Amino acid sequence: MGGRKAGIRAGAAISCVLLLGGCGGAGNNGSARHEPVTVAKAPAQLPVPRGKGSKSADDFNGDGLRDLVLNDLVKSPDDAHGDDAGIGIVYGTGTGAGTTHGLAPGARQLLNPARQAARTKGRSPAVFDAEASCDLDRDGFTDLVVSTDPPYDGQGRPPVPLQILFGSPAGLTGRAVRLVIPAAARAGNDWPDQPVCGDFDGDGAEDLVVHASDGRLSYLRGPFTRKGAPRAAGKPLPSPGSVPTGPALDVNRDGYDDLLVRTAEGPATSALVLGGPAGPTRTGTALPSGIDVALGPFGRGRALDAAVGSMDGTSLRYDLPTAVRDSISTPGSVLDAGDFDGDGVSELVSSGAELRILRGRTTGLSATGMVTVPPPARGTTRVLTVADFTGDGRADLVVRTYDGETKDTVAVYAGSKEALVTAKPTVTFSTSEFLGMNS
């Protein structure tokens, strides 16, 4: 299948995922080491909390708390080279005064392609990866767009590999349905992949943008039916690149979500595509070549800003969608962003050999008081997402450390008003907890 194997990342960053090599060093208050949780040590499985619907992002069960999506689950040592284990979901829990809200590893769910994927010619797909999440049918429960590998003989236009799992009061239950992309909305013979959610036409319903080919995008207007069909879809839209990248954000504060499109995988230039009544049709600011891009309000009183990560450090392009305002040099080429201290200004997460957080201030980003985050375990660490999982108005940092294909540690560093993030993880678990689950 052409196109990348992507995970979904929440928060105000537009970014690919790159493994960080040799993460070490002390954090803001020292370093902590944690061994991965084995199945024997895993917390007892809890029922998924039942919700009534919400407007929270990544809230598959509609209880108002954000949930975490995990691709590439570790495998059993006896089956290290086996088929895709599926997608893991860890649900947020916590109700009542004085109760801590946040991710609960016990409230976990395995989305298995044999049980949840739509079959093709009676066969389940071997690939089942989370790609994007939003409330496509507008019922108050977040839905998950997944990528599969339907059979294709290489002749003519390939089938649509994307499927939708719909949220419900019990979470992501039932079988997926295939995403419908009308023939008139497709272009060329590339795989239609790399979906990005956003309200690009400002009507309050979530839309999808999908890579077409030849510098064009398929624009699918929401809401979507429970059979996977968009409300409308016109001819493919011209695009300044071939890699649409999420999440979509309203960069210029005009009420329409905007999209970042990269010209290629890896180091490449990129450009904003601005939404409007007709969808994402206008090419906006061009950004310089880099490995990664993060968007966020890195200072007060401006529209969103852009940070571009390169092998030489991070350059900042402020005041989108037009002016170049500043630059800052810091190691790290992979970026994310979030408001860890709750002051309304985003911090920048810059990762490479070490994981660092640069403070956002009224005048913009500052390396003064930069925080270095310790890895949660020995191995290779990467950032999974930056998002508020506790509902306290401060972003949390979620990272994952690998030690081969059969061991890992997922750690949540809670946002902190004083220190940006806690010195030690507030939650740790291993994706090995999903091994052997039946659903």
DSSP alpha helix (H) spans, 103-149: 113-116
HEC states along 58-86? CCCCCCCCCCEEECCCCCCHHHCCCCCCC
Report the percentage of the chain scoring pLDDT > 90.
63
Dump the DSSP string for 155-193: SSSPPP-EEEEPP-TTSS-S--EEPP--GGG--TTS---
For residue 11, give the H/E element and its range: none
Asked if 379 and 408 count as a contact pair (C-beta separation under 8 A), the reply is: yes
Instruction: Read off the tokens for 105.
Output: 């590893």
Q: Compute the average pLDDT of residues 412-425.
A: 95
- What single DSSP character describes residue 279? S
The answer to which of 172-176, 186-190, 333-337 has the lowest mean pLDDT is: 333-337
With a cut of 50, say whether residue 421 has pLDDT above it.
Answer: yes
**Half-sphere exposure in the Cβ direction for 371 (13 Å, CA):** 28
Reported as a pLDDT band with limits 50, 70 and 90, residue 301 is: low
* Tokens encoding 396: 């949390």
Q: How far apart are the C-alpha atoms of 37 and 42, rounded to whole Å?
A: 6
Q: How confident is the model at residue 143 (pLDDT cuts 50, 70, 90)?
A: very high
- DSSP label at 20? B
Greater confidence (37 vs 87) lies with 87
How far apart are alpha carbons 200 and 220 in whole angstroms?
10
Could you report the per-residue pLDDT of 357-367, keeping only the tens digit for each?
A: 999 888 778 77
For the chain, how many helices (H) and strands (E)? 1, 29
Helix (H) or strand (E) holding 399: strand 396-402
Q: How confident is the model at residue 188 (pLDDT cuts 50, 70, 90)?
A: very high
Cα–Cα distance between 46 and 426 in angstroms, integer? 19
Q: Find the DSSP H helices in 13-165.
A: 113-116
User: pLDDT for 64-109, tens place per residue?
Assistant: 999 999 999 988 776 656 667 899 999 998 743 344 679 999 999 9
Q: Mean pLDDT, to the nearest integer, of 23-48?
A: 49
Phi and psi at 28, nearest 5°, equal -70, -25
Burial zone of 177 (CB within 10 Å; 0-12 exposed, 13-18 middle, 19+ buried): middle
pLDDT of 363 reads: 78
Q: What are the b/e assignments for 385-394, b being 16+ CB within 10 Å?
A: bbbbbbeeeb
Token pair of 124, please?
């389940």
Q: Please tell me the distance from the alpha carbon of residue 362 to that of residue 349, in angstroms, as a whole number.
A: 17
Report the side by side order of strands in the sheet with 129-134: 129-134, 143-147, 162-165, 177-178
Report the pLDDT value the prediction gives residue 324, as an integer from 0 to 100.
56
- Read off the pLDDT of residues 146-166 as tens digits, 9 standing for 90 and up: 999 999 999 999 999 999 999
Q: Are strands 177-178 and 162-165 parallel, antiparallel or unpaired?
A: antiparallel
Whether residue 397 is predicted with pLDDT greater than 90 in this model: the reply is yes
Confidence bin at 30 (pLDDT 50/70/90): very low
Q: Which residue bears the tokens 């590439």? A: 72
- Helix/strand/coil for 434: helix
User: Which residue in 142, 41, 124 sits closest to 84, CA to CA?
Assistant: 124
Rounded to the nearest integer, the mean pLDDT of the chain is: 85
pLDDT at 55: 94
pLDDT bin (cut points 50, 70, 90) of residue 205 is very high
pLDDT at 21 over 60: no
CB atoms within 10 A of CB 121: 6
Question: By the 8 A CB rule, do 91 and 102 touch?
Answer: no
What are the φ/ψ torsions at residue 185 (nearest 5 degrees)? -90, 0
pLDDT at 431: 94
- Using an 8 Å Cβ cutoff, are 118 and 163 in contact? yes
Q: What is the pLDDT of residue 323?
A: 54
Q: Give CA–CA dist 141/55, Å, rounded.
A: 8
Q: Confidence class of residue 15 from pLDDT cuts 50, 70 and 90?
A: very low
User: 210-224, 263-277, 357-371: which range is least confident on average?
Assistant: 357-371
pTM above 0.85, yes or no: yes
Chain position carrying tokens 């803001």: 28
| Predicted pLDDT at 403 | 87
What is the separation, in whole angstroms, between the first and last Cα of the chain? 27
Closest CA to 389 of 425, 359, 357: 425
Rounded CA-CA distance 395/170 in Å is 25
CA separation for the pair 96, 80 (Å, rounded): 42
> Which of 368, 358, 364, 348 lies closest to 300 in space, CA to CA?
364
pLDDT reading at 176 higher than 70? yes
Tell me if 242 sits within 8 A of 259, measured CB to CB: no
C-alpha atoms less than 13 angstroms from C-alpha of 274 in its C-beta half-sphere: 14
Lowest average pLDDT, out of 78-87, 170-179, 245-254, goes to 78-87
pLDDT at 35 over 50: no
